Amino acid sequence: MKLLLLLCTFILSACSSSLDSYANKKPEFNLAEYFNGKITARGIIEDYSGTMTRHFCVDIIGSWENNTGRLHETFYFDDGEKQVRIWELQIAADGKVTGQANDVVGEASGETRGNAFNWKYVLEVPIDGSVYELAVDDWLYRLDEDRLMNRSYMKKFGVTVAEISIYFDRSQPLKGCNEDA
């Protein structure tokens, strides 16, 4: 039994993502370069069972002065809800990123290796008139010059309660969420 438990632990740890495993992947992810100007993206939210519960469009306006940035995100959900998150970001000399936002508890922190950026924070999420604090493990992957994929895992008490997928594509003419396609 102990051998089985040890084997399961080894297999699960081998499957977990490490930022270092992306160190040699291209193209390199540069947060300030990619999120500079206007970007529109689309995403879905899946619950703990993998069922899509909502989809959304997000307009992002990024601006940077040296290593200090601001991302103004406006989310438009399929049920009519609108949310705004404004990130204030700082990139340190060692490349580590810290940030604050209006619905983030404390400070977010992140790092880049190769084509990946891992961002962790606690988010206040309104659900049915209550607000829940969920730990977010955000993974962004630069696919090519214009495309980026974002996978977020939201957890409560260490259990994944939702997953979010967002696709960014700067190669298309930039139209906002509320503009005609």
Per-residue pLDDT reduced to its tens digit, 22-68: 999 999 999 999 999 999 999 999 999 999 999 999 999 999 999 99
As given in the structure block, the two tokens for residue 35 are 């999120």
Long-range contacts of 117-125 (CB under 8 A, 24+ apart): 117/29, 117/31, 118/17, 118/19, 123/154, 125/154
Q: Measuring CA to CA, which residue among 138, 143, 176 is closest to residue 155?
A: 138
pTM here is 0.84
pLDDT averaged over every residue in the chain: 89
What token pair was written down for 76? 């438009």
Tell me the pairing of strands 116-127 and 130-142.
Answer: antiparallel
Secondary structure of residue 26 in the 3-state scheme:
coil
**What pLDDT, on the 0 to 100 scale, is given for residue 174?**
67
Apex CA 16: angle with CA 71 and CA 157, to 5°?
70
Classify 19 as helix, strand or coil: helix
Over residues 77-98, mean pLDDT:
95
Return d(Cα 52, Cα 118) in angstroms, integer.
23
Helix, strand or coil for residue 4? Answer: helix
What distance in Å separates the CA atoms of residue 16 and residue 145, rounded to the nearest whole number? Answer: 27
Q: Tell me the pLDDT tens digit for each residue of 103-159.
A: 999 999 999 999 999 999 999 998 889 999 999 999 999 999 999 999 999 999 999
